[in-house]
Amino acid sequence: MATPIILAGIKNCDSVRSAQKWLEQNGHDYSFLDLRSDQFVRHTLGAWLEKVDWTSLLNKRSSTWRGLDDKDRDDLDEARAMTLMMKHPALIKRPVLQIGDVIEVGFSPERYSELLKT
């Protein structure tokens, strides 16, 4: 039995759509986790943060980040970043690909090919 693939993101994100298209074109079944849904919970983000550094997961180039108050952006640590990402899911760099214990942040066809052996 193949390891389940989860692709997490926001439906209208171009990078997420590119990753979905790549997975479909390469014959990979996956479950989509909408970061803005009730199914995305704190323990999911916590599990990701056990595998990747919070600075890799936090999207400081987003308009959501630019819209935060300085007090929210200053002196961040993992706990504060996690709270911000749960409150504002658009702060999570997308997409997040989860294959078992492997977490890949962002979309790269080459990296997906390597991870999924296609």
Name the residues annotated as catalytic: 13
**Is residue 97 a contact partner of residue 51, using CB atoms and an 8 Å limit?**
no
DSSP state, 27? T
CA distance readout (Å), 43 to 47, 48, 69: 6, 9, 26
Which residues are CB-contacts of 54 (< 8 A; sequence separation ≥ 6)?
A: 78, 81, 82
Half-sphere exposure of 93 (CA within 13 A, CB side): 18
DSSP state, 118? -
